Amino acid sequence: MTDRKCVLVTGGSRGIGRATAVAFAARGYRVAVHYATQRDDAETTVHELTGSGHTCLGGDLGDPAVARRVVDEAVAALGRLDVLVNNAAQAPTEQNRHAVAEVGYDEWLAAWRRMIDVNLLGNANVSWAVARHLIEHGRPVSVVNVGSRGAFRGEPEYPAYSASKAALHAFGQSMAIALAPHGISVTSVAPGFVATARQEAKLAGPGGDALRDQSPFGRVGTAEEVAAAIVHLASPEAAWSSGAILDVNGASYLR
């Protein structure tokens, strides 16, 4: 059993997940970096982490059996878990765009099923497995869910995405109440548009200025800024914030 704190970051191969893994490692954590399919990217993340004892593990969290296995493997590899970051998600892409007036019923069903399976149910199943592990060992720990600004303002071209993230926020608040007696805090972040590698072309294109103008700061967020918020919410000092949903969007959407 290690004396160093340990964290499982789902969807940790790129973007916000990678930045979060790097931020925890810089604070002395051992990190389990989960990936869905891109093992090379996850290994790149692990190589970027300071310290030792990190690991990567793969699997499609849309499969309930895999979600439970990923947690078991993380515990086996790290020896303990102190923090779970539910970052894995089926993100909006041109391939899964499903504006109601534009797609057929089969495409509509496929988009909804995939996004709900991963973004909501996958994270819920991982949370169950981690919570049962943490309850058994009786340590005060933290769960941080990565939601989205879209849960509040809507995503008309990706309604399943915004609905899944809104449901993830609500799930987190339910778990905050359920797990508080066990010393487990549960919070969420709701990022706005973030400058990740996946968004480079969009930011460089004709719509880039409009994206930057969404915030009065005149820019979009960074993965490191979201990671900093996650690390804070996972800290013992933030335990009294359990149940909170923190907007990390540069005042681009206020509620």
Report, as residue numbers or ranges, the catalytic residues: 148, 161, 165
Residue 157: which of 90, 206, 214, 100 has the closest Cα?
100
Residues 160, 97: Cα–Cα separation, whole Å: 10
Is the Cβ–Cβ distance between 186 and 242 less than 8 Å? yes
Enter the DSSP assignment of 12: -
Residues 73, 184: Cα–Cα separation, whole Å: 21
Helix 123-137 vs helix 64-78: angle between axes, to the nearest 10 degrees? 40
Q: Which residues touch 187 (CB under 8 Å, ≥6 apart)? A: 142, 143, 144, 145, 172, 176, 233, 238, 241, 242, 243, 244, 245, 246
Question: What angle is formed at CA 79 by the lines to CA 132 and CA 82, rounded to 5 degrees?
Answer: 55
- Strand 245-248 and strand 221-222: pairing? unpaired
Residues 33, 56: Cα–Cα separation, whole Å: 4
Helix, strand or coil for residue 104? coil
Q: HSE (CB half, 13 Å, CA atoms) of 206?
A: 0
Is the Cβ–Cβ distance between 220 and 211 less than 8 Å? yes
